[in-house]
């Protein structure tokens, strides 16, 4: 059964542990700017929004990729970038409606959530339970992704 | 067996052929191209010119890929005539191809202005892989790039990376004139100049100098010596075939198609740089020659030619350019597209990033960013919906509302400060 990352914005407390554990896991250093998940904050209102790649069904990032480097990996039902092909143009960074793709200035490469190969670290550390990795049947998957796509407000 | 013919092997033709194949597994899908090679990406030609990537990385397919996908490809073959009434294409080897359905994906060609001296050796453009090969072969050390659109900038930077001394000549009052308003364009210009690329604005090239080989250009202001002149002032739809079939053109000069990418002729679809489309964001009709638009149009045209009824949602004209390690992006209208009384602007400038938001009647109509370009993509939805921000920003306090307007974080005060928000 497919599993999917689901974010419940109401539950996020803005502790930002996810950004830390993600960057430690992926980059070997606590550096939120290189985390695959980002908490967008509206400080005055006390609103915290975890944002990450939604692994869309028809991803805009794959449409703009000039070297066809962005694919769907069916085994984990995720969108991945072939780093051998990527030229670092950042078209995918600019087009994503949800800020789901980051760029590492030093390494000169794009990065995004890869679901930690099926065992997402952020989920394990999220005390509030705002990020979950859950089994979901296909109908729901497509509904969820349609929502993401509507948010994309294109295609 | 039904024959679906595709003319052109660029991204539009390629996607169209694949979509046709998928939609009708029984049809014979034939792709004809005058290119001597399979699909490659024009978008990374500058990276090849600069030496950042080897030539083979420009290619996106091998001839075997087409065989595997069940697509017949005729390479180095030009379609020289077309009889729509008989459903026949005439090829340059005097062969003919009868089709049941036809997809025109003939793309675009660079516009070469009729300047005195353009025929000289060393005057080039950048559209095809062949152009890039020529540019890599030229010996010399100084180049003049005429035109400062994305291709002009990428070419200038690529040659600079290879150690050439480069000048950029632009007729208008800024570089990247269709993408950025003057303050951001000036920042980008400084970025070029600080690396040693000379930029000449408001200058008109009058003549290409030299004997057989180019030796420089003469503008209305000065003479610039050069071993290589690159003319990149814009692309025009390639309509040679369309005209032979008397396809109806739109106001912008591209092939007119309906939302199913159908032309005025029965059994003929068109897609890619050769068609006119509608900008999703501004609603304007025009030529929106971008990779993503060509790709999606190709998918729609190919599927529909094979019997589907897909709709093209309109072109998404978000342009992203990156050079010297920094990305910049733009979508929608510039403030200079509006009258000074109509346009409201929010400008945020940081150390290495800059953000520029264009509003009209309290609605966002355009966004430009240098660095941190992810906000630009995030704003497309807001621009599309044409929301009145007075409501959104003041009353929109729920989380899901905030999520929708995430790229506006940190801008609340600026938005409120704009007089109309009070
Ligand atoms: C240097 C450069 C950089 C670019 N960078 C970007 C970028 O970063 N991002 C972006 O979104 N866009 C970019 N673009 C634009 C993008 O590449 C084009 O929009 C896209 O490639 C158009 O694809 P197409 O298939 O419609 O046309 P084309 O690629 O022009 O293909 C047309 C095809 O038709 C064939 N053909 C034409 N007439 C005939 C005939 N009579 N008989 C047989 N074959 C014929 C040609 O041989 C060719 O195969 C760039 C373009 C260039 C030139």
> Quick check: is B37 in a domain?
yes
B370/B329 same-domain check: yes
The model's pLDDT over B341-350, given as tens digits with 9 standing for 90+, comes to 999 999 999 8
Q: Is the pLDDT of residue B361 over 70?
A: yes
- Measured in angstroms, the CA of A23 and the nearest CA of chain B are apart by 19
Backbone angles phi, psi at A117, to 5 degrees: 55, 30
The model's pLDDT over B36-54, given as tens digits with 9 standing for 90+, comes to 999 999 999 999 999 999 9
The model's pLDDT over B112-169, given as tens digits with 9 standing for 90+, comes to 999 999 999 999 999 999 999 999 999 999 999 999 999 999 999 999 999 999 999 9
Q: Is the pLDDT of residue B312 over 90?
A: yes
* Domain spans of chain A, in order of start: 7-134
pLDDT in tens, chain A (155 residues): 678 888 888 889 999 999 999 999 999 999 999 999 999 888 777 888 889 999 988 899 999 999 999 999 999 989 999 999 999 999 999 999 989 999 988 888 999 999 999 999 999 999 999 999 988 775 566 555 655 555 454 43
> Quick check: is B312 in a domain?
no
Which of B134, B94, B137, B104 minimizes the C-alpha distance to B239? B104
Mean pLDDT score, B88-110: 97
Question: Which pLDDT does position B410 carry in this prediction?
Answer: 81
Q: Which residues contact B94 (CB under 8 A, 6 or more apart)?
A: none
* Per-chain mean pLDDT for chain B: 95
B244/B102 same-domain check: yes
B249/B395 same-domain check: no
B90/B34 same-domain check: yes
CATH fold for the domain made of A7-134: Alpha-Beta Plaits (3.30.70)
Chain B residues within 8 A of A66 when measuring between CB atoms = 41, 43-44, 291
Which residue has a Cα nearest atom 41 of ligand 1? B79
Question: Which pLDDT does position B388 carry in this prediction?
Answer: 84
- Interface with chain A: mutation pick from B377, B378, B392, highest number of A CBs within 10 Å: B377
B217/B250 same-domain check: no
> Quick check: is B40 in a domain?
yes
Question: Which pLDDT does position A6 carry in this prediction?
Answer: 85
> Quick check: is B139 in a domain?
yes
Q: Is the pLDDT of residue B263 over 70?
A: yes
Strands A102-104 and A109-111: what pairing?
antiparallel
Q: Which residues contact A90 (CB under 8 A, 6 or more apart)?
A: A103, A110, B320, B322, B327, B373
Q: How many percent of chain B have pLDDT more than 70?
A: 98
**Beta carbons of B170 and B201 less than 8 angstroms apart:** yes
Query: Is B227's C-beta closer than 6 angstroms to any atom of ligand 1?
Result: no
B54/B138 same-domain check: no
CB contact under 8 A, B373 and A96: no
User: Which residues does B contribute to its contact with A (CB < 8 Å)?
Assistant: 41, 43-44, 47, 52-53, 57, 60, 280, 290-292, 295-296, 313, 316, 318, 320, 322, 325, 327, 329, 369, 373-378, 380-381, 384-385, 397, 399-400, 402-404, 406-407, 409, 412
Query: Is B106's C-beta closer than 6 angstroms to any atom of ligand 1?
Result: yes
Q: Which structural domain, as residue segments, surrounds residue B224? A: 123-231
Q: Is the pLDDT of residue B356 over 50?
A: yes
CB contact under 8 A, B385 and A47: no
B248/B105 same-domain check: yes
> Quick check: is B316 in a domain?
no
B38/B187 same-domain check: no
Give the residue, out of B43, B50, B154, with the most ligand 1 atoms within 8 A of its beta carbon, to mutate for a pocket test. Answer: B43
CB contact under 8 A, B377 and A94: yes
Question: Which pLDDT does position A43 carry in this prediction?
Answer: 76
B239/B104 same-domain check: yes
CB contact under 8 A, A90 and B291: no
Chain B residues within 8 A of A108 when measuring between CB atoms = 325
User: pLDDT band at residue B397, thresholds of 50, 70 and 90?
Assistant: low
Which residue has a Cα nearest atom 6 of ligand 1? B43
> Quick check: is B105 in a domain?
yes
The model's pLDDT over B164-219, given as tens digits with 9 standing for 90+, comes to 999 999 999 999 999 999 999 999 999 999 999 999 999 999 999 999 999 999 99
Question: Which pLDDT does position A46 carry in this prediction?
Answer: 80
> Quick check: is B53 in a domain?
yes
Count how many domains chain B has.
Answer: 3
Nearest to A47 among B290, B327, B399 (CB): B399
Range name among B81-85, B367-371, B410-414 with the lowest pLDDT average: B410-414
Report the SS3 class of residue A26: helix
**Beta carbons of B274 and B108 less than 8 angstroms apart:** yes
B363/B403 same-domain check: yes
Which of A77, A61, A73 minimizes the C-alpha distance to A144? A77
Question: Which pLDDT does position B421 carry in this prediction?
Answer: 53
CB contact under 8 A, B292 and A151: no
Distance B237 CA to ligand 1 centre (A): 10
> Quick check: is B315 in a domain?
no
Question: Which pLDDT does position A29 carry in this prediction?
Answer: 92
Cα–Cα dist B17/B70, whole Å: 10
DSSP of B19-50, one letter per residue?
HHHHH-TTSEEEEE-S-SSS-B-GGGHHHHHH
* Closest-CA residue of chain A to B316: A154
Q: Count CB neighbours of B128 within 10 A.
A: 18
Mean pLDDT score, B92-105: 97
- Interface with chain A: mutation pick from B18, B374, B404, highest number of A CBs within 10 Å: B374
Question: Which pLDDT does position B24 carry in this prediction?
Answer: 98
């Amino acid at each position: 059964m497919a599993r999917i990352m689901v974010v419940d914005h109401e539950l996020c407390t803005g502790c930002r542990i996810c950004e830390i554990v993600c960057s430690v896991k992926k980059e070997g250093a606590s550096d939120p700017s290189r985390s695959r998940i980002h908490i967008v904050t509206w400080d005055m209102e006390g609103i915290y929004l975890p944002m990450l790649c939604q692994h869309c069904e028809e991803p805009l990032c794959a449409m703009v990729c000039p070297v066809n480097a962005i694919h769907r990996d069916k085994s984990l039902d995720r969108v991945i970038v072939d780093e051998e092909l990527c030229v670092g143009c950042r078209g995918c960074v600019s087009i994503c409606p949800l800020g789901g793709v980051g760029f590492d200035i030093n390494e000169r490469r794009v990065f995004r959530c890869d679901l930690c190969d099926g065992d997402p670290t952020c989920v394990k550390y999220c005390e509030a339970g705002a990020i979950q990795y859950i089994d979901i049947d296909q109908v729901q998957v497509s509904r969820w992704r349609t929502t993401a796509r509507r948010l994309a407000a294109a295609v | 067996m039904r024959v679906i013919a595709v003319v052109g092997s660029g991204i539009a033709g390629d996607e169209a052929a694949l979509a046709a194949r998928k939609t009708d597994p029984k049809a014979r899908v034939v792709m004809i191209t005058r290119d001597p090679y399979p699909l490659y990406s024009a978008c990374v030609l500058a990276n090849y010119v600069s030496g950042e990537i080897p030539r083979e990385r420009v290619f996106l397919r091998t001839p075997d890929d087409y065989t595997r996908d069940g697509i017949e490809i005729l390479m180095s073959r030009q379609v020289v005539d077309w009889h729509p009434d008989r459903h026949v294409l005439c090829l340059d080897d005097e062969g003919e191809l009868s089709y049941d359905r036809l997809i025109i994906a003939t793309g675009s060609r660079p516009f070469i202005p009729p300047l005195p001296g353009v025929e000289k050796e060393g005057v080039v453009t950048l559209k095809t892989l062949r152009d890039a090969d020529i540019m890599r072969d030229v010996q010399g050390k100084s180049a003049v790039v005429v035109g400062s659109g994305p291709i002009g900038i990428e070419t200038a930077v690529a040659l600079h990376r290879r150690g050439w001394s480069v000048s950029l000549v632009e007729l208008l009052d800024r570089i990247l004139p269709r993408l950025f308003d003057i303050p951001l364009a000036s920042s980008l210009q400084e970025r070029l100049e600080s690396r040693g690329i000379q930029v000449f604005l408001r200058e008109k090239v009058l003549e290409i100098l030299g004997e057989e080989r180019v030796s420089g250009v003469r503008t209305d202001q000065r003479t610039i010596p050069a071993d290589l002149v690159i003319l990149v002032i814009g692309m025009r739809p390639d309509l040679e075939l369309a005209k032979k079939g008397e396809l109806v053109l739109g106001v912008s000069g591209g092939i007119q198609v309906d939302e199913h990418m159908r032309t005025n002729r029965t059994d003929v679809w068109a897609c890619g740089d050769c068609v006119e489309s509608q900008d999703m964001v501004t609603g304007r009709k025009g030529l929106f020659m971008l990779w993503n638009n060509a790709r999606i149009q190709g998918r729609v045209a190919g599927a529909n030619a094979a019997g589907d009824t897909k709709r093209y949602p309109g072109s998404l004209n978000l342009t992203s350019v990156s050079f010297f390690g920094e990305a910049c992006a733009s979508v929608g209208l510039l403030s200079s597209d509006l009258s000074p009384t109509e346009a409201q602007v929010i400008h945020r400038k940081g150390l290495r990033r800059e953000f520029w938001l264009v509003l009209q009647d309290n609605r966002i109509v355009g966004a430009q960013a240098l660095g941190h370009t992810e906000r630009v993509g995030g704003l497309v939805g807001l621009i599309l919906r044409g929301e009145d921000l007075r409501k959104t920003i003041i009353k929109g306090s729920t989380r899901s509302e905030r999520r929708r307007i995430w790229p506006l974080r940190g801008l609340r005060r600026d938005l409120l400060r704009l007089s109309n928000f009070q």
